[in-house]
Structure formats: structure tokens, C-alpha cells
Chains A and B, each alone.
Chain A
Amino acid sequence: MGSPMRNDGHAGPLLEVRGVTLQYKTKNHLVTATYRVGFDIYNSDRFVLLGPSGCGKSTLLKAVGGYMQPVEGEIRLKGQVVRRPGPDRMMVFQEFDQLLPWRTVKENVMFPLRTGGRLSRKAAQAKAMEYIAKVNLTKFADSYPHTLSGGMKQRVAIARGMAMEPAILLMDEPFAALDALTRRKMQDELLSLWEGTRFTVLFVTHSIPEAIKIGSRILLLSPHPGQVKAEIDSLSAGADGSMVTALEKRIHSMLFADTIEGGTE
């Protein structure tokens, strides 16, 4: 079965991040985004990178995506060092313009399946329609992206990522630009999609409730530069409200401990 959680016989974690320091240059400064960050992701993990803005979580995701190289440490996927972007790490971005505007919904999902001759036209079409159905957009398969709402565009991007059945799906605050109602709906949908195929996902967010809801494991990062503060288990789906509130409080105090200690509270 073409499940997205193959490990190809590689023992150990699916993704290993070891002591990764990331730097990028702006006009006048050399910015250190993360300092010696390390974590492991196993098959079917819903791994969440959580932290305030400036903790380098998006930069970290870009490094896993292969868009930038660490100045120190290494990132390995199935034991292989990540050197460049590739379709085994499909990304879902925050921006709505991530769909190719000159292609319909179906063609957008088919495009990566077809590049490099991975699948025949027919097979790609069948697979694309299967995943479009999973995100409930069958009716819009022949629409162009500019006719869709923001939430629908993000669903297409998720379908496109999942249809490739990547080793790991990378999601960079995919719901951050949506309104609150749509965001909650999309979170539920993502979880039910995960129940269906149990794909591995690395999810970046700055929202504590979203991290608890989406994640099975949460990595907390401190800002300027990003360093690991904690790596904790999230709650299972059936957890009651008081447990969620307690965990939220705990995470909040861990992330903002410095400001509380030094502050007037």
C-alpha cells in the first residue's frame, strides 16, 4: 500500500536534527536564527515547533526543507543529509499564493506528481482526484485558484502535499492567515486526515492552543536566537478542557518564564 509512512528499512528516527545552528545575512547584520537545536521525529509523529516570533522556527523548517544549509550541525532524513529542496519533503506555506495561478486545482495537485515523470498522466489524475476528494474539493477540481477562498486554497495546498506521499509533510503556519472559525475547522480536518493515513508532519505555529490540538509532540523554542527550551508530549484527542488549560498554562509559563521573573508581576 502506498502509505506515506514508509521508512525504507532505515532504523532510528525518520528525521534527525543534530545541533543545528542557522544564520542568515541581512544588509548590515549576520542574524543567528537558531543555536544548536536538536530533535528527532519518528514515523507518524505530529511534531510541532512552537515559539514566539523570532525564535527561528520558520527558518528551521526552511532548513529541513533544504532551502538553507546549517552553519553547524546537520539534518538527516532517513539517514541521508538534507542538501537541497525535494519532493520527499513537501511544504505547505502560510501564504495563499503558493498555488500556481495558471493551473486549476486538479492540475496544481497533479503538477508535482507529473514532474520528473514520476507518474503517468492517468495515474497522476486518479491520485490527484483521490486527495482532492479527501479535502472535500471535488466540486472545485476544475476551478482556478483565484476563484477560491483562503481556506480552500490552503486545503488544495494540503492535498497537493499529501498526494505526493512525502516522507514528511512540512507545514509553515498554514492556518495563520485564516479567520478563527475556518482555522478551527481546518485543524479538525487535518487531524481527521491524519487519522486516515497517519502521515508524518512537522508543523510550525506560534499559537499554544493550536500546538496542543495539532501536535502529538511539541518542541518549545526560546527567541533570539532560537534554542530548545523543552520537548514535551501533547494531550490525546479525548483530553478534557481542564487538562488543556493546565497544559496551556504550563507551556505559557515555560515560554515566557524570563519575562515573568524579571517583570513586575
Chain B
Amino acid sequence: MTDSAIVPSGRPEILREPIAAEAFGIVQKPLSTWERITNVGAVRKLVLLVLLAAAWQIYASHLNNPLLFPTFGSTIHAFVRGFASGELVTKSLTSLSVLVKGYAAGIACAAVLTMVAITTRIGTDLLELLTSMFNPLPAIALLPLALIWFGLGEGSIIFVIIHSVLWAVALNTHSGFLSVSNTLRMVGRNYGLRGLPYVVRILIPAAFPSILTGLKIGWAFAWRTLIAAELVFGVSQGSGGLGWYIYENKNELEIPAVFAGLFTVIVIGLIIENVIFRTLEARTVRKWGMQN
């Protein structure tokens, strides 16, 4: 035992009057410029992107085989050329329009299915059964069947997108509804809410973190499925989507253009994830303190 642990006898009482908060104003710890820059998530991610691009450029230059692996520079060159000619823009817009149609239809189906599932017991069984059956089934495996049913065109692709979105969104929404706290449910019923108003005004906002997760997973599934399906055939005879652009350029051995097509797929994915979903999150679940 050290001396400092021994309690001295006869310690005096200490009484103090606290100073009013107005007297000393705001006390703040100043951040250095470096801390301020590294605190921005976008900056950190941008640095990582630059490093990855540099690694790509160095490796491809070292390999020196533009047919197998073009450099970052020539990919960007093809990307800019594609954009300037307008070809990549129209292909992207074609793909995105099909995506939006399929995504919206998938969410609508999921909404109906979950609504049935939370209001009736047999509906719950149906949802559980269907999800466990169809969720593991890759959407692209349904494409041959879709081609027979809906022909060579938009219809088939929308069908497989619906399949890829529906189960992920329905499953997440349903488990979100189930995890809504009992207190909030009782509060909603205390207000006299029942049926659809109860679902819309209490259950959906309360389950929004899970619903948002479902929407994000659903979007990623839909985008993947779309590009894969487009690789098989163009959306309609004249103008295909991004997948078709990649496939065509591969046939013509325009490998930098193939990479530019893949690059566009990635960029669109990054924008939707980091701009649209991030904004949606900041305006809802983060603002409400339901997610950090």
C-alpha cells in the first residue's frame, strides 16, 4: 500500500457557488484543420478511390495488355468518349427507366403482400412460405421462362426485376413490423387508430429502419438482375441498356469500352447508394434518432 491511499484526518468541507453559464459563454474544444478534413466521410472515401485508381493504372501499365486489362486512363478515355457521343447516356437512361418500373412494381407487390401478412394469420404463413421458397431462387434463372411468357422485351426484364425486389423488401418490412415496440402499438390504438391508418401512421414509420434496409437490398438486387438480363438481349430491338452495351463492345473487342460500361454501372450504383439512400436516411431514421 502506498502513502497516497491513506485518508488524511480532518479534511475541511469545500463549499462553492457555481458560476452562471452566461458568465463564461460557450466552451469548445478547437479542432485542427487535419481533424476537420478527416472527419468528412466523403473525403476519406475519395482518398480510397484515388488510391484504387492509382493501383489499377500501375498494374495495367505493368501488364501492358490492353485487350485483357486496359489502363484506368484508357477506360476513362472510353468513358468520356461514350458520354460525349451520347451513347452511354442513352444506354444508362434506358436501363434506369426499366429499373424504376420494375423496382416500383416490386415494392407495390411487397406492400400488398406485407399488408395481408400483418392483418391475417394465414397471410403471415403465406409470406413466410413464399419468401423461403423464392428468395433463394436467383432472378436470372427465371429469365428463360419470362422470355416464353412475355417475349423478347421490357416485359421479361421487369418480371425478373420484380422477382428480385419483392422478397427482399417484403421480408424486411414484415420483420420490421414485428419488431415495433408494444408500447408504440398501444399508443397507436389508444388514439383510436385501426386498420390502414394504423399501419400507415404507426407501423410504417416505426418500422422504417428495416423498411429502408429492405429497399436498399432490393435496389442492389434489381440493378444486378437488370444488367445481367440485358447481357442476354437488348431491351428492345433498336436501343439496348448498359448490359447490352457491354456485351456488344466485348464482341467487337473494344475492351476499354467494356470497362467503361462496367464503370458506368458502378458509378450509378455509387450515386444511388451514397446520394439518394444517404439523403433519405439523413432525413428520416437519423433525424428521428432511430439509427446512428
Residue ranges of A at the interface with B (Cβ–Cβ < 8 Å): 65, 67, 84-87, 89-91, 93, 95, 97-98, 100-102, 111-112, 115-116, 144-147
CB pair B191–A112 under 8 Å, yes or no, is: yes
Q: Which residues of A contact B183 (CB under 8 A)?
A: 93, 95, 97-98
Of B70-78, B141-149, B169-177, B282-290, the one with at least 4 CB within 8 A of chain A: B282-290
Q: Which residues of A contact B287 (CB under 8 A)?
A: 144
A85 partner, pick from B190, B197, B202, beta carbons under 8 A: B190
Bound: A89/B193 CA distance, A? 14
Bound: A116/B192 CA distance, A? 8
Bound: A38/B191 CA distance, A? 26
Q: Which residues of B contact A97 (CB under 8 A)?
A: 181, 183-184
CB pair B192–A87 under 8 Å, yes or no, is: yes
Known pairs A91-B186, A98-B183, A102-B208; A115 contacts B192 (CB<8 A):
yes
19 contacts between A and B (CB under 8 A): A67-B189, A87-B191, A87-B192, A89-B190, A91-B186, A91-B187, A97-B181, A98-B183, A100-B184, A101-B288, A101-B290, A102-B208, A102-B290, A111-B191, A115-B197, A144-B288, A146-B289, A146-B290, A147-B289
Known pairs A102-B284, A146-B288, A147-B289; A85 contacts B186 (CB<8 A):
yes
Bound: A190/B191 CA distance, A? 22
Q: Which residues of B contact A95 (CB under 8 A)?
A: 181, 183
CB pair B193–A102 under 8 Å, yes or no, is: no
Q: Mask for B153-170, Cβ within 8 A of A = 1, else 0? A: 000000000000000000
B187, B193, B197 interface centre (most CB from chain A within 10 Å): B187
B280 CB to closest chain A CB (Å) equals 13
A77 CB to closest chain B CB (Å) equals 14
Interface size on B, residues (CB 8 A): 21
Bound: A98/B202 CA distance, A? 12
Q: Does B205 contact A (CB under 8 A)?
A: yes
CB pair A93–B189 under 8 Å, yes or no, is: no
B138 CB to closest chain A CB (Å) equals 36
Bound: A101/B206 CA distance, A? 8
Bound: A144/B205 CA distance, A? 14
CB pair A90–B190 under 8 Å, yes or no, is: yes
Known pairs A98-B183, A102-B205; A144 contacts B190 (CB<8 A):
no
CB pair A102–B288 under 8 Å, yes or no, is: yes
Bound: A144/B284 CA distance, A? 12
Q: Which residues of B contact A87 (CB under 8 A)?
A: 190-192
Q: Which residues of B contact A116 (CB under 8 A)?
A: 192
Bound: A91/B186 CA distance, A? 9
